[in-house]
Amino acid sequence: MRRNFCFFLLLLGLVAQAGAGVVLDTQGGSAALEENLRARLRLQTEPCDAPRSVVQRVFKQAEKDFDPALRAFGYYRAKVVKELSFEDDCWHAVFTFDLGQRVVIRKRDIVIRGEAADDPKLGGLLAGLPLPEGAPLNHAEYEAIKDRLRQFAIERGYLDFAFSRQELRVYPDESVADIHLEADSGPRYHFGELRLSEQPLDEELVRRMANLTEGEFYDTAKIAALNRVLSDSPYFARVEVRPRRDQAVDHAVPIDILLEPAKRHAWRAGIGFETDLGPRGSLRYDNRYVNARGHHFESALSVSPVLSTLGAEYVIPGDDPIHESFGFGAKLTHEDTDSAVSDSASLTARHTLQSEGWNQNRFIELLHEKSDVGGEKTTSTLLMPGIAFDHAEGDDVLRTRRGYRVRFEARGAHEALLSTASFVQLSASAKGIYRFGQGGRVTGRVDGGVTVVPSITDLPASLRFFAGGDNSVRGYAYQSLGPLDDKGEVRGGKNLLTASLEYEHPVVGEDWWAAAFVDAGNAFDSDQFELRSAYGVGVRWYSPVGRVRLDVAFPDDTSDGSWRVHFGLGTDL
């Protein structure tokens, strides 16, 4: 008792030093309970200069304020000792709670009748509901049970779902409560007619994109997916999917799909800067409706001192237009790096499939390239079949807390098939991001590649491995690392292995971050691997147009006493 009294005096002293305020001692209660008690207490709104009589009157009503907050958390037999004082030209109040025994759930009966009773997903829902028998009572969780049952019914198409009994019986003297819920789901509805608004595509193509079949069970997840896939397609500027429950006949809900076509022709221009490529400009043209079958045309021009490209592709939707497409493209490339100069032209045919988050790209490319690597000129013609897989997953594209991406590619050529060299090349890359709560985050990256070829000089520059640059080993110039020829010039390698580890920490809100990193690796041949590494610090700014990255990197090769600045703009993954 003496200890509690001393504690009370200490709390009162702390409040007196802090000015007007309220101290709540819930003696083991949760933070959520204390927050609810404060939200209910009207006394907290009274200022220091409030009339004493007003403060005293509101103070006397504190138990009435606290009662609903206590009951909401299952404390039906709580008692409170309260003290009010006036000193230092202000008032101070301390409330000490004896919460008593908390009410627990003695019995929970949830009965669902109708077609939902046989739904295979109902059992999992019921097992995951809050407030099982023996759990402490929380009125908000009781309401959550009813909300989740209603939501389940809507999502699964039981549109006539209704409760016939909703009881929460509390026995304060026994500190127990019983839950009794009964509901009739009614029949499960199904999708009726899909009614499309007028738009320039063949109706059959849009129906294949919608992937909804008249007569299948109503499911709000499928409606949301329908809205998403049509909105993500290049064909529509606005999509609105309207289930017409009011027009349902024989439990079939017609679906109105309102489609506003995107403009047929689209032009986009841009400018930018990267340390690797220098200043660059871009121009893109798309024809979204070459014809009513959904064929579209894409082209892009990019110009910079290091890398310039001009490409175009004709794209044809597959049987599943959302997940399958065929493309036929052509591309011209000019690249001028510290290690090589090359000019190439290529023709490509591809088949792209999307499945369970993975993109699969099967292709065949005819490449003709002239390159000059360290003064050695090569002219190559290669017919290369190949396949690539990539997958990316993250919680936020611009501010990723947790996410990763992976990519694998295999390609090859043979002299017997319109090629000047025979080779097989495998490459892979991975990147992962993990943030620690509200603190910093770690980013890891690995890139690797292997080439099976008699001599690397048989291949053009674009198929040799180089290291160095913004997204490789910082501290070194773009594609400046790799095996050396007899003249000491970088000629590129058969293999590649680079890795990076970076830590970032917020310093000003969530927009400005500081970073520290270490990069290592190199391009190499089987009998030669010279590790190069670099370390540095940087600044990150999350601008309205994307993440701006500025790094200062110090290479391990300090023969020229140099350090490099790296700048980039883009998304995390």
First to last CA, the chain: 60
Q: According to the model, what pLDDT value does residue 398 have?
A: 81
Please, where in the chain does CATH 2.40.160.50 lie? 265-570
Which residue shows structure tokens 């309220």?
22
Chain centre distance of CA 61: 49
pLDDT tens profile 89-135: 889 999 999 999 999 999 999 999 999 999 999 999 999 999 999 99
pLDDT tens profile 217-244: 999 999 999 999 999 999 999 999 999 9
pLDDT of 369 higher than 90: yes
Q: According to the model, what pLDDT value does residue 571 have?
A: 82
CB 464 within 8 A of CB 373: yes
Distance CA 489, CA 377 (A): 13
Cβ atoms < 10 Å from Cβ of 333: 18
pLDDT-based confidence at 201, cuts 50/70/90?
A: very high
pLDDT tens profile 150-198: 999 999 999 999 999 999 999 999 999 999 999 999 999 999 999 999 9
Please, where in the chain does CATH 3.10.20.310 lie? 2-98, 104-184, 190-261
pLDDT tens profile 78-89: 999 999 999 878
Cβ atoms < 10 Å from Cβ of 49: 9
Q: Which two tokens stand for residue 309?
A: 């490209």
Q: According to the model, what pLDDT value does residue 170 have?
A: 96
Q: Is 3.10.20.310 the CATH classification of the domain at 2-98?
A: yes
Q: Which two tokens stand for residue 85?
A: 């004082």
Closest CA relative to residue 362, chosen from 407, 410, 406: 410
Phi, psi of 453 (to 5 degrees): -155, 145
pLDDT-based confidence at 3, cuts 50/70/90?
A: very low
CB 339 within 8 A of CB 353: no
How do 236-243 and 252-261 pair as beta strands?
antiparallel
Q: According to the model, what pLDDT value does residue 568 have?
A: 86
Outline where 233-382 has alpha helix (H): none
CATH number of 104-184: 3.10.20.310
Q: According to the model, what pLDDT value does residue 7 have?
A: 37
Give the total residue count for the chain: 573
Secondary structure (DSSP) of 22-85: EEEE-SS--HHHHHHHHHH-GGGG--TTS-HHHHHHHHHTHHHHHHHHHHHTT-SS-EEEEEEE
218-250 core/surface letters (b: 16 or more CB in 10 A; e: else): bbeebbebbeebbeebebbeebebebeeeebee
Q: 89 — alpha (psi -120 to 50), left (phi > 0) or beta?
A: left
pLDDT of 451 higher than 60: yes
Mean of the pLDDT values across residues 350-355?
A: 95
Average pLDDT over all residues of the chain = 92
**The model's pTM:** 0.78
Mean of the pLDDT values across residues 2-10?
A: 37
* Sequence-ordered list of residues with C-beta below 8 angstroms from that of 367, at least 6 positions apart, any chain: 344, 345, 346, 380, 381, 382, 383, 384, 460, 462
pLDDT-based confidence at 488, cuts 50/70/90?
A: confident
Q: According to the model, what pLDDT value does residue 560 have?
A: 57
Q: According to the model, what pLDDT value does residue 10 have?
A: 35
> Bridge-partner residues for 316, per DSSP?
326
Mean of the pLDDT values across residues 36-54?
A: 91
For residue 388, with 0-12 CB atoms within 10 Å meaning exposed, 13-18 middle and 19 or more buried, which class applies? middle
Mean of the pLDDT values across residues 291-316?
A: 97
CATH-assigned architecture of domain 190-261: Roll (3.10)
pLDDT of 287 higher than 80: yes
Closest CA relative to residue 375, chosen from 493, 464, 455, 490: 490
Q: According to the model, what pLDDT value does residue 6 have?
A: 37
pLDDT of 23 higher than 80: yes
CATH number of 265-570: 2.40.160.50
DSSP 137: P
The sheet carrying 252-261 orders its strands as 190-196, 252-261, 236-243
pLDDT-based confidence at 388, cuts 50/70/90?
A: very high
Q: According to the model, what pLDDT value does residue 113 have?
A: 96
Which residue shows structure tokens 């099982």?
132
Q: According to the model, what pLDDT value does residue 374 have?
A: 85
Closest CA relative to residue 131, chosen from 101, 165, 102, 97: 102
